[in-house]
Structure 1
Amino acid sequence: MTVDSADRRLRRARRVTLLSLATNVWTTVLLPVVGLAREPDPVRVALGAAALLGFAVAQIAVLHAAVTPWLPVPARRRRHVALAVAALLSVPLLGPVAAGSWPTWAWLGASLVGMAPLLFRPAVAAVAAAGVLAASAAVTGSTGGSMPRALLVTGVVGTGIAALAWVQVWFWDLLVEARQGQAAQARLAAAEERLRFARDVHDLLGHDLTVIALKAELAERLAPVDAARAAGEAAEARRLAGAALTRVRAAVHGYRAVDLAEQAAAVGEVLRSSGVRTTVVPPAGEVPAPVAADLAAVLREAGTNVLRHSRAGWCRIEITREDGAVTLTVRNDGVRDDDGPDRLSGGLRGLADRLAPAGGRVRADAADGVFSLVATVPVSQ
């Protein structure tokens, strides 16, 4: 499973989910520090701090894995094992810290209970939480602490953390599934288009190729006995082949024809999916195919620049036809202090060279935090 690295919204959602999980869980990891501060024995403080640090590092790795669905299974398992080892070592190292005065390990146990939904299925997570609760009771009983307080911290606080963690990861999984659904839908649309094109080509060529094959076979048989008729059949086969080639070229040209309004709508959807508020104003009428093809290239370049080179919050794409020319205007607020036409001069020169044979021109400017790209191509009246 992969997540498109260009999907900035999903990356931001992932970071927010990870931060939310960490904030939710780390509260119970920080509270054992109170026990370290109350412990008079420096050796126990050192051992407890080492155990707590190891547990925190392993916990960070597991939280990261929870929002990284493309992480390989072996790597995920290694992180889970590391957390289990850190948790086991924390019992003898952190359990005796501030014995009787602060439920040090009970808070760590609450963190483990809160992590259970991220590690196991619901039934197994419930069993694991019961085991952690039993361990908290055992540590508290052996160190002379308050049993009700320890069980309240580990059980009740841990359950609350577990519920919040499960909801957060559930929302994240929904986002990933939605993104995968969009990608699958795009692949399906492309596959359907290829199948449609294949069917059209088959329909165009199937009959003609069958007739051509029959004509060629007939010409081959007639050649020894009736050369004139064989030549006629061969000529007819050649004519059919030429007609079939013409139809195929016409069909391919139809597939390659550019609809500028559709191109603008598609670029608008891409920008919106990247978090840019986009307004698209399509042309009022038909745009000649050559002009549409030239301006579509400018539009794609402009859309790429908005995504790659700016921090745009909004973008406006407008196509107008007046005074014997079609004008494409792309404006966005993503310009930075050092932005300007020079930064994109290489791309602009390439677009200008493309439009030059048709008499078109391209200009760009940046003012008041807004970058504008304007391309104009004349059309015959």
Structure 2
Amino acid sequence: MAQQAAVPRADRRLRRARYATLVSLATSGWASLLLPAVGVLREPDPVRAALGAVGVLAFAAAQSAVLYAAATPWLAQRRRRRFQACLAVVAVLSVPVVGPVAAGDWPTWAWLGASLVGMAPLLVRPPAALAVAALAVAVAAGVAGWTGGSLGRHLAVTGGVGTGIAVVNWFQVWFWDLLVEARQGQAAQARLAATEERLRLAREVHDVLGHNLTVIALKAELAARLAPSDPARAGREAAEVQRLAAAALAEVRETVHGYRTVDLGEQLAAVAGVLRSCGVRCAVPSLPAGLPAATAGELAAVLREASTNVLRHSRAGWCRIEIVQEGGVARMTVTNDGATDRGPDGRSDGLRGLTDRLGAAGGRLRVHREGAVFTLEATVPVAS
């Protein structure tokens, strides 16, 4: 099942859905256990009533553990098996302990059997679940014959009511599995987008370096051959190698820092697409008219870092991006909700690098957090 895979415990939306699933499962489980308590209250023998109460409470505890495991993806598989084994043992022991309670007056154990039928789809695959349901119905029929109770009543409770509980429980866990799979798909999309961006950068670096390094290698080989016979020309070739190496280094730096090919409009559209694929509402702002390329390059770097922080350091439901140009200054503001206690601060490596970079260009970076809302604001002088 999808719930066997790990999901982020800090995901607030998924955590709320899990709580709702647990409440729904607990409601149906405890409702089916209140009716066995009716049988305990109707039992005239105090010793048998006490034993029956112990059996019902033990069954309720084992059932709660199993229902908790059904909606807890990060729970170790070994603990799941222990919970299930405990439930199986308690269910077997409940037959002689709870079966005679209110014999002939109330189908006490039949209600426990209905709970077993209702939980079967959460524990095992459909064929095994049918086998468990059939066994529970057979035991209910045996208890009816043993205690002199109504066979039809026992079968109706264990088989009929149990089937209804099974349908409700199965739907709840099925819906929970869909939510977990959707969250995992969003995380995979974010990782894929980051991988594609790294591949794009790698291709650009390869394109920049490939040609220049080939020329440098040929020039260096030529200079080495000319050194004994024509030192003057060899010196000129060596100087050319030096110039080419410096030019290649400058181009690599431009590529890495996003000056050469990054278009701020395309970057905005790409970031908005990644955020939306991760369930974050985001609108693409219109760019100020006449924004110089150098200024746009600085803002593109800020945008990349800000979007990375939204994905890595928050559980955002919305993100707002604003870009305005006022006089000789361009300002980008990125605001998102869902900031966690482990979110970025002014001393984080990414923000510190951005602060240094913008400072060198005469700009400034500021961050602010108010509750769960995180705001990053960058100002950059408009280059002529």
TM-score, normalised to structure 2, is: 0.77
Counterpart position of 2:113: 109
Choose 168-177 or 353-362, whichever is displaced more: 353-362
2:144 paired with 1:157: no
1:212 to 216, 237, 251: 216
Kindly tell me: are residues 175 and 158 of structure 1, through their superposed partners in 2, closer, same or farther at Cα, counting changes over 3 Å?
same
Structure 2 residue 289 is matched with structure 1 residue 285: yes
Shift in Å at residue 117 of structure 1?
Answer: 0.4
8 A Cα contact 2:216 2:245, kept in partner: yes
Partner of 2:325, secondary structure, is: strand
Q: Secondary structure at the match of 1:31?
A: helix
Please name the residue that 1:233 is paired with. 237
d(CA) in 2 for partners of 1:217, 1:242:
18
Give the unaligned 5+ runs of structure 2. Answer: 339-344
AA in 1 matched with 2:299: A
Aligned 8 A contact 2:279 2:317 in 1: no
Amino acid at match of 1:234: A
Deviations 1:222-260 (A, max 9, x none): 434443343333222222212211221221222696949
Aligned counterpart, 1:7 = 11
Q: Which amino acid aligns with 1:192?
A: E
Return closer, same or farther for 1:31/1:192 CA change in 2, 3 Å cut-off: same
Describe the SS at the equivalent of 1:63. helix
Moved more, 224-233 or 50-59: 224-233
Q: Are positions 1:186 and 2:206 aligned together?
A: no
Cα deviation, residue 88, structure 1: 1.1
Aligned mates of 2:308, 2:61 — CA distance in 1: 44
Q: Secondary structure at the match of 2:149?
A: coil
CA shift digits 1:198-223 (9 cap, x unpaired): 12211211122122223323333443
Instruction: Give the superposition deviation at 1:279.
Output: 6.5
Q: Conserved in 2, the CA contact under 8 Å of 1:260 and 1:296?
A: no
SS at match of 1:254: coil
Q: Is the 8 A contact 1:7 1:274 kept in 2?
A: no
| Cα distance in structure 2, aligned partners of 1:84 and 1:293 | 60
- Please give the TM-score of this superposition, normalised by the length of structure 1: 0.77
- Fraction of identical pairs, as percent: 59
* Structure 2 partner of 1:78: 82
Match of 1:18 in 2: 22
2:119–2:166: 8 Å Cα contact kept in structure 1?
yes
Q: Secondary structure at the match of 1:71?
A: coil
Q: Matched residue of 2:73: which SS?
A: coil
Q: 1:202 to 1:273 in 2, by over 3 A?
A: closer
Question: Counterparts of 2:55 and 2:190 in 1: how far apart (Å)?
Answer: 49
| Alpha-carbon spacing, 1:37–1:261, altered in 2? closer, same or farther (3 Å) | farther
Q: Give SS of 2:257's match.
A: helix
Contact 1:260 1:295 in 2 (8 A): no
**Alpha-carbon distance in structure 2 between the residues aligned to 1:179 and 1:70:** 14
Question: CA, structure 1 residues 190+242, in 2 after alignment: closer, same or farther (shift >3 Å)?
Answer: same
Deviations 1:38-76 (A, max 9, x none): 112222222222222221121111112112223222121
Q: Find out whether 1:144 has 2:151 as its counterpart.
A: no
**Larger CA deviation: 136-145 vs 154-163:** 136-145
Query: CA separation in 2, counterparts of 1:313 and 1:218?
Result: 60
State the one-letter code of the partner of 1:207.
H
Partner of 1:250: 254
Q: Show the 5 A alignment for 1:29-40.
A: 29-40=33-44
> Residues 189 and 271 (structure 1 numbering): CA distance in 2 closer, same or farther, change over 3 Å?
closer
User: Alignment RMSD, CA only?
Assistant: 4.1
Aligned length: 360
Q: Secondary structure at the match of 1:102?
A: coil
Aligned to 2:204: 200
Task: Quickly say closer, same or farther: Cα 1:358–1:258, change in 2 above 3 A.
Answer: farther
Between 240-249 and 146-155, the greater mean CA deviation after superposition:
240-249
Which stretch shifts more, 67-76 or 127-136?
A: 67-76
C-alpha separation between the residues in 2 aligned to 1:125 and 1:50?
Answer: 27
Partner of 1:342: none
Instruction: Give matches, 1:287-366, under 5 Å.
Output: 287=291, 288-289=295-296, 292=299, 318-326=322-330, 358=362
Residues 319 and 335 in structure 2, CA contact (< 8 A), matched pair in contact too: yes
